Amino acid sequence: MTDFPALPNDERRPKAPDIPRMVVDFNRLREAGGKNFRDLGGHPAGDGRRVRRGKIYRSSHLARIPDEHPVRQMAVRTLVTLQSQVELRHLGAPHQDVLRHARWEHLPIGERWFRDGGALELASQPGKEHLVMLTGFASDWRRFFAILAQRDAYPLVFHCSAGRDRTGVASAMLLELLGVGRDIIVDDFLKSNLVFPDSPLTAAQLTPVFETIDQAGGIRGFLREFMKVPDAEMEVIREELLE
């Protein structure tokens, strides 16, 4: 199951007359609620530091969550939803138990890709889907990092539908900023295969993402130049999430 495909970032590129389609199984995705949930804390981040536990979490959608799900017991202060409006209509908004004390931020990454009925436009080069998730929605990612730079935002949970593709790209950027090694970032990315073993992610899917970051001189240069994230915000994020 693919969380969603990507379209070319370059609006000037001629559009093919016949764009392939695929269909998302919303019924199947409904059953994934809360299943791809994990704390991003605990990872070593260089210089003897670690990502703080209990501060930031990634997840699949939270419209349906088991009674015993840990998020029900957490005092989540900020929930960041990366789903499109179509996905929210089909899967539902996050559960009220999650939103009771949380500020809800909706950043519709992939908004133009989804259609009612589950049809998705597939016009990216094979293997470049996650790169376009990164480069195709710069303003939404800019807002994502602005939220992370708010000291009162934590504990924070961010999620898409399956919690693996858009959420995986978000996690990769964040962990890279925190100084976590790429082998660990890839390992975190691939943990979603435990939840979705029949459509496994591969390490190669992050390669174009890392190459693009490197071409900008590293994650700070990429966030600064492409996402317009101020250096001061990057420092606040590191201060809040590292120990």
User: Residue 193: what pLDDT?
Assistant: 97
Residue 92 to residues 27, 73, 141, 152, 221, Cα–Cα distance (Å): 12, 21, 23, 27, 37
- Give a yes or no: residue 5 inside a domain: no
- Give a yes or no: residue 235 inside a domain: yes
Q: What is the pLDDT of residues 53-85, one digit of tens each?
A: 999 999 999 999 999 999 998 999 999 999 999
Rounded average pLDDT over 207-222: 97
ω before 155 within 30° of 0 (cis)? yes
Which residue segment(s) compose the domain that 214 sits in? 21-241
Tokens standing for 123? Answer: 């016009």
Pairwise CA distance, residues 59 & 213, whole Å: 24
- Give a yes or no: residue 203 inside a domain: yes
- This prediction's pTM: 0.86
- Identity of residue 88: L
pLDDT > 90: what percent of the chain? 70
Q: Phi and psi dihedrals of 110, rounded to 5?
A: 90, 15
Q: Name the one residue in this structure whose structure tokens are 């996050």.
A: 94
User: Residue 151: what pLDDT?
Assistant: 98
Q: Name the one residue in this structure whose structure tokens are 């693996």.
A: 164
- Give a yes or no: residue 160 inside a domain: yes
Q: Are 44 and 30 in contact (CB under 8 A)?
A: no
Tokens standing for 61? Answer: 């959608």
Number of domains in the chain: 1
User: Residue 125: what pLDDT?
Assistant: 62
- Give a yes or no: residue 217 inside a domain: yes
- Give a yes or no: residue 26 inside a domain: yes
CATH number of the domain within which 167 lies: 3.90.190.10
- Give a yes or no: residue 152 inside a domain: yes
Whether 205 shows a pLDDT value over 80: the answer reads yes
User: Residue 8: what pLDDT?
Assistant: 39
Pairwise CA distance, residues 236 & 116, whole Å: 39
Rounded average pLDDT over 22-48: 88
To the nearest 10 degrees (0 to 180), the angle between helices 166-177 and 138-148 is 50
- Give a yes or no: residue 99 inside a domain: yes
Whole-number average pLDDT of the chain? 87
Q: What is the pLDDT of residues 98-122, one digit of tens each?
A: 998 899 999 998 877 765 554 455 4
